[in-house]
Amino acid sequence: MKAARFAYERPADLSSAVRALGEYAAASGDAKPMAGGQSLGPMLNLRLARPGRVIDLSRIAALRCIESAATSASVVPDGRWRIGAAVTHAEIEDSPAPLDGRGFLRHVASGIAYRAVRNRGTIGGSLAHADPAADWPLALNALGAQVCILGPGGRRDVSAADFMRAGFSTVLADDEIIEAIDGPVLSAEARWGYWKICRKTGEFPEASAAAVFDPVRGHARIVAGALGTAPVALEGLAEAVARLGSVALTTHAVDQALVDAVSGLDAVERKLHVTALLRATRQVFES
């Protein structure tokens, strides 16, 4: 199948992109931003998306920068990093900048699909697409990152934990784009774990989990992904693990925390998710 007819625009800067999106949305047209086209492309071809206009963000320099306090004298405050929405997974994987300070972002990026997909797919596109099994919604939730959103009314920041409302649904309005993702640099004492259960390497996972503990920042988060909806944080379990250490990490405790937070899992799904959660959180104590 081929995509239905649409107009194509490739603005050179951020304000032109937001203006184009706002004007078209206001005129009751259905405009869609496009970044790497790794999800939007197939959706257009299958006619699951039929926008009247596609606004290509891939050439906007402001969306393509990676910054941390260590690499930039301005923009990013101390202890933070910032990744433009149109930065590809491969650019994060290869980034020479220290970014989160503990290699978490690089690790997550390097495990997304295959290099060919990572060369084009972007962090902002992944968040906006909001596939329940995608890596960035899970990882950025666990890290405590913020999504910086730009629209005709100005800028607003939303925590990554609140950005995704459900599978394929986010808080983004039709005339808004993701400008960047902003997050904390982890301390030297911080530890993380990340685990995906996939049938084949490079496929979307059947279960996934992320754990990030940073005692210096008082940050403790264990998050389950690939649940068919937005990632789910297991706050009680994370608090118990932060307080008691690995003794709090029993199969029973993880299973109970999952069942308390998520309903409707069958026995096989429950086992897969408990395994992913245990593996990810155990990595915290092994690293």
Ligand X SMILES: Cc1cc2nc3c(=O)[nH]c(=O)nc-3n(C[C@H](O)[C@H](O)[C@H](O)COP(=O)(O)OP(=O)(O)OC[C@H]3O[C@@H](n4cnc5c(N)ncnc54)[C@H](O)[C@@H]3O)c2cc1C
Cβ contact 43:49 at 8 Å: yes
What span, in angstroms and rounded, lies between the C-alpha atoms of 74 and 69? 8
| Beta carbon nearer to ligand X, 33 or 214 | 33
- Rule CB under 6 A: is residue 113 a binding residue for ligand X? yes
- Rule CB under 6 A: is residue 112 a binding residue for ligand X? yes
Least CB distance to ligand X at residue 241 (A): 25
Q: Which residue has the tokens 């697409």?
A: 129
**Contact track, ligand X, 245-274, x by CB under 6 A:** ------------------------------
Of the residues 11, 24, 32, 146, which one makes contact with ligand X according to CB under 6 A: 32
Cβ contact 138:231 at 8 Å: yes
Burial of 58 (0-12, 13-18, 19+ CB in 10 A): middle
Of the residues 95, 122, 141, 281, which one makes contact with ligand X according to CB under 6 A: 122
**Contact track, ligand X, 157-186, x by CB under 6 A:** ---------------x----xx--------
Least CB distance to ligand X at residue 6 (A): 12
What span, in angstroms and rounded, lies between the C-alpha atoms of 229 and 60? 31
- Rule CB under 6 A: is residue 22 a binding residue for ligand X? no
How many other CB atoms sit within 10 Å of the CB of residue 9?
A: 16
| Beta carbon nearer to ligand X, 35 or 145 | 35
Least CB distance to ligand X at residue 146 (A): 15
What span, in angstroms and rounded, lies between the C-alpha atoms of 237 and 220? 9
Cα 83 from chain centre: 11
- Rule CB under 6 A: is residue 66 a binding residue for ligand X? no
Residue nearest to ligand X (CB): 125
For helices 235-244 and 251-261, angle between their N-to-C axes, nearest 10 degrees: 150
What residues make contact with ligand X under the rule CB under 6 A?
32-40, 57, 85, 89, 112-113, 117, 120-122, 124-126, 128-129, 134-136, 172, 177-178, 204
